Structure 1
Amino acid sequence: MAQQDSTGLQSLLEKQQDDMISNAVPTVRERKKTLLKLKRLLVDQEAALIEALVTDMRRPAFEAFSFEIALLLNEIDYVCRSLTKWMRSERSIHSKFGYIETIRKKRSPFGSVLIISPWNYPLQLALMPAISAIAAGNRCVIKPSEYAPATSKLLQRVISQTFSPEVLTVVPGDVQTAKQLISRPFNLIFFTGSQETGKAVSQQAAKQLIPVITELGGKNPCILDETGYSPEAIREIVWGKFLNAGQTCIAPDTLFVHESIYAKTLSEIAAVLLSFYGDHAKESKDYGRICNRAHFEKLLHVLTQGKIRFGGDYNAEELFIAPTVLTDIPSESPIWHDEIFGPILPVIPYANLESLLHQQVIQRDALVAYIFSKHKPCIKLLENHMRSTTISINQVIQHGANPHVAFGGVGRSGHGSYHGKAGFQAFSYEKTAYNVYRYLTVPGKFPPYSDQNLHIVKKFRKWLL
């Protein structure tokens, strides 16, 4: 990045932080006004945004609207309805020996927030955290992914036409741009992407003591036991897996099927895929493409790690990989521990859920764990085993669109949650005003201390402190 660009980034950050200092923290009315401007932008630019998403990902227009624009509109509506309640300060009064204390708590914005978004949902994952940040009263800088150039370019243009850069701005660029931004003294960084890059971002931020929220994905297991099998369940799983050509952080990564229903599950998966995308998925208008060449090459290697039971076709020129089902995975295959993030579904039989969990082939801190079952002990067993922030029962993906459900990871799948109230809290911190009214002087509080005073403190500590 040129020195002039670097200077411009520093100037932008200083303007945002100076604006936070010189102006009062945005009121609830001002925050709602900003959010409603963003909503109007999404509505007015709907056609252009869908066109950009289709250009970048060959994504069906239905998916582009439903899982990018509609989610953002619903989040804004929910936040605007709830924001007044979330912003109310909490006040309490406590009476103790010799004094009365009042405690008043409120949420305060961090300041200037950097949002680094990925390529798989380039609009939603850029603006969803921005909605939370704005609701909490922050200023925002968004660094969109260079692997979604059409969406990135459009987002920069429409944001700059709608918002002052001191409030919300988009800074496009490559990995060098991201490194330059991370080196700046932002007050908070929000990153969505791979574990490897997330570690690098966190390490750089730690040098400046900047807090970081990371959303890193993971190998989301999907358990299908003999009580949970139905054609409807298979359709749900297949839809969630191959949505956006498998490039969804909360997609089922690997399907573990009870051995008693293994054969018919494979048969039903094939039937559902044919009903979704036809005999030639490459010709289906409802099936997307892999976003970039590097990820395409990685997925080609995954295709060699098991027996192809369905699909397996690909076209390098179009970055197309057919919906694929793999079985008979060798024990030494990397697919057991590496996130797939593509349209390849390993289907693995198991005899007993407890034994399966003890084999340690399931990532306990995955972003989400799915189970299709009517057997409550099995559901409870998975809940107790997983460290994931979400255990989803008899559905996939849907929880990610619900603003009442905190969206985030733990351990290898990330740190921190957002969406709805969780997002408002993640992008703010608790500020406390503590006031004491004394009406008695407490003897022995100040040095020199005595053994008698220590005895008094031990005896009456509940009332003194």
Structure 2
Amino acid sequence: MGENNSLVLEELIKRQRTDYFNNPYPCAVKRKKTLLKLKKMLTDHEEDWIKALVTDTERASFEGYAFEIAVLLNEIDYQCRNLHRWMKPDRSWHLKLGYVEAIKKTQHPYGSVLIISPWNYPLQLALMPAINAIAAGNRCVIKPSEYASATSKLLEKVIRRLFPPEQLAIVTGDAQTAEFLTTLPFNLIFFTGGQQTGKKVAQQAASKLIPAVLELGGKNPCILDETGFSEAAIREIVWGKFLNAGQTCIAPDTLFVHTSVYKRVLPEISAALIDFYGKHPENSKDYGRICHTAHFQKVTDYIGQGKVRHGGNYDQKNLFIAPTVLTDIKPGSAVLKEEIFGPVLPVVPYTYLETLFSQQLIQRDALTAYVFSKHKQHIRMMKRYMHSTSISINQVIHHAANPHVAFGGTGRSGYGAYHGKAGFHACSYDRTDYKAYHYMHVPDKFPPYSDKDMRILKRLRKWLM
């Protein structure tokens, strides 16, 4: 990264911070105007966005619209409907000994927000945090992934034309550019990506005392017990797993199946895969590709760690990996410990949930957890065991597209949450205005103190604080 580029980025953040200091609390009307301009940008260039997404991921146009554009449009609508209510001050009054206190709490924007987004959903994961940040009154700099070049270039082109850089800016470049951006004096950093890079971002933010939101991955478990098995359940799980060629952070990562239905599950998975993508998925217009070569190699390495029950073939030239189902996996294999983030589904039989939990095959702080069951006790056990921020019962994926549901991780899957009201609060800080109206003088609160003062304090403590 050249010195000139560094100076340009430093000037950009300076302009955003100056604009923030000149207008630190934009009104709701101004925020909505910016959000609606983003909405118009998405609808006016809808075909261009879909074309760019297909170029970057080679997945179906339907998925590009459903899981990127539609989700963003719904989020903008939700923010606009609720913004006035969220911005309304929370007021309270309390009678104390000698005075009345008036408390007003409001949400204030941090200032300039850095958003570093990944390649798997290059439009949604670049703009969703920006929508939340703008609704909260912030300015934004978005660093999209270099591995989704078509979407990144279109973002850069359109946003530069529609928005002043002191309000919303796109910075393209490689990992070195992203690393340099984290050294600049942003007021909040929002990172979506892998755990290792997330740790570096968190360390850099901590060194400058900058708050950060980290949306990382996780090895999301999916439990299918003896009461949860059905053709519909299998189709739901298969769809969620192989959506975007498995490159979804909330995809079911490993499927744990009760032994009583295990042999029935495997052929149902194969049948669903053939229904979805045909016997030759490389020819399916609805099946995506792996984003880049390094990740392709990582995912294909997992295939040799178990017995292939479906798929297993791949083509590096076209970055194609067939939907693959693995069984008979050796304990301790990487495919059972690491997030796969690709179209490889390990299917593991179990007899007792308690044993499954005690073997620690399930990451308790995964980004989410899935359970297909009609057994209330099994569902309760899963809820008690997991430390994830969401647990979905008898469905996959859908909760993450709902603006009423906060989306975020805990522990190894990150920290902080966004979407809807959670996103508004993630990009704001609490300010409290405190005012006292005195109606009598209380001299005993000042030194020197006596034993009598202590007795009075204990007797009236509820009225003093």
TM-score bucket of the superposed structures, by smaller chain: over 0.9
Q: d(CA) in 1 for partners of 2:316 and 2:180?
A: 33
Structure-2 residue corresponding to 1:206? 206
Q: Name stretches of at least 5 consecutive residues in structure 1 with no aligned partner.
A: none
Report the counterpart of residue 333 of structure 1 in structure 2: 333
Deviation at 1:24, TM superposition (A): 4.7
Counterpart of 1:324, as a letter, is: T
| Amino acid of the structure 1 residue aligned with 2:97 | F
User: Is contact 2:24–2:109 with CA below 8 Å preserved after alignment?
Assistant: no
Report the AA paired with residue 201 of structure 1: V
CA RMSD of superposed structures (Å):
0.8
Aligned pairs for 1:264-413 within 5 A: 264-413=264-413
Output the amino acid matched with 2:56.
D
The correspondence of residues 36-435 of structure 1 with structure 2, limited to 5 A, is: 36-435=36-435
Contact 2:147/2:291 (CA < 8 Å) preserved in 1?
Answer: yes
Q: Take 2:35 and 2:372, find their aligned partners in 1: how far apart are those partners?
A: 37
Instruction: Give the Å deviation of 1:451.
Output: 2.8
Distance 1:300 1:396 in 2: 24
Letter in 2 for 1:23: N
CA-to-partner distance for each residue in 1:161-203, whole Å, 9 max, x for gaps?
1111111110010011011100001000000000000000000
Residue 454 of structure 1, CA deviation = 2.2
Mapped to 2, the partners of 1:199 and 1:225 lie a distance apart of 35
What is the identity percentage for the equivalent residue pairs of Structure 1 and Structure 2?
Answer: 64
Query: What secondary structure does 1:444 align onto?
Result: helix
Distance (Å, rounded) in 2 between the aligned partners of 1:10 and 1:447: 52
Deviation at 1:295, TM superposition (A): 0.1
TM-superposed deviation, 1:7: 1.0
Using the alignment, how far apart are the partners of 2:451 and 2:88 within structure 1? 46
Work out the CA distance in 2 between the residues paired with 1:277 and 1:13.
46
Displacement after TM superposition at 1:242 (Å):
0.2
Q: Which moved more, 1:204-213 or 1:23-32?
A: 23-32
Aligned partner of residue 388 in structure 2, secondary structure? coil
2: CA distance, partners of 1:6 / 1:452: 66
Q: Cα offset for 1:452?
A: 2.4
Whole-angstrom CA distance in 2 between matches of 1:366 and 1:414: 9
Taking structure 2 as the reference length, the TM-score comes to 0.99
Report how far residue 449 of structure 1 moved.
Answer: 2.4
CA distance in 1, matches of 2:289, 2:206: 36
For 2:197 and 2:264, the matched residues in 1 are separated by: 40
Deviations 1:146-173 (A, max 9, x none): 1111111110110111111111110010
Count of residues paired in the alignment: 465
Specify the SS of the correspondent of 2:260: helix
> Matches of 1:272 and 1:104 in 2, distance apart?
56
The amino acid that maps onto 2:310 is: F
Partner AA of 1:359 in structure 2: Q
CA distance in 2, matches of 1:214, 1:6: 25
Q: Distance in 2 between matches of 1:170 and 1:157?
A: 9
Q: Which amino acid aligns with 2:375?
A: H
CA drift at 1:456 = 1.8
> Counterparts of 1:230 and 1:454 in 2: how far apart (Å)?
69
Q: State the 4+ residue runs in structure 1 displaced beyond 4 angstroms.
A: none
Displacement of 1:78 in angstroms is: 1.0
Distance 2:105 2:352 in 1: 50
Could you say which residue in structure 1 is the equivalent of 2:453? 453
- Measure the CA separation in 1 of the matches of 2:260 and 2:438: 73
Q: Amino acid of the residue matched to residue 394 of structure 2?
A: N
The range that moved more, 108-117 or 14-23, is 14-23
What amino acid is aligned across from residue 424 of structure 2 in structure 1? Answer: F
Q: Which letter does structure 2 place at the counterpart of 1:389? A: T
Cα distance in 2 for residues equivalent to 1:4 and 1:452: 70
Q: TM-score, normalised by structure 1?
A: 0.99
Query: Are the equivalent residues in 1 in contact too, given 2:219–2:339 (CA < 8 A)?
Result: yes
- Structure-2 separation of matches of 1:417 and 1:437: 38
Return the alpha-carbon distance in structure 1 between the equivalents of residues 424 and 274 of structure 2. Answer: 42
Aligned mates of 1:333, 1:51 — CA distance in 2:
38
- The answer for the alignment partner of 1:6 in structure 2 is 6
Deviates more, 1:304-313 or 1:443-452: 443-452
Paired with 2:175 and 2:422, the residues of 1 have a C-alpha distance of: 29
Letter in 1 for 2:431: K
TM-superposition CA deviations, 1:280-313 (whole Å, max 9, x none): 0001111000000000000111111111110001
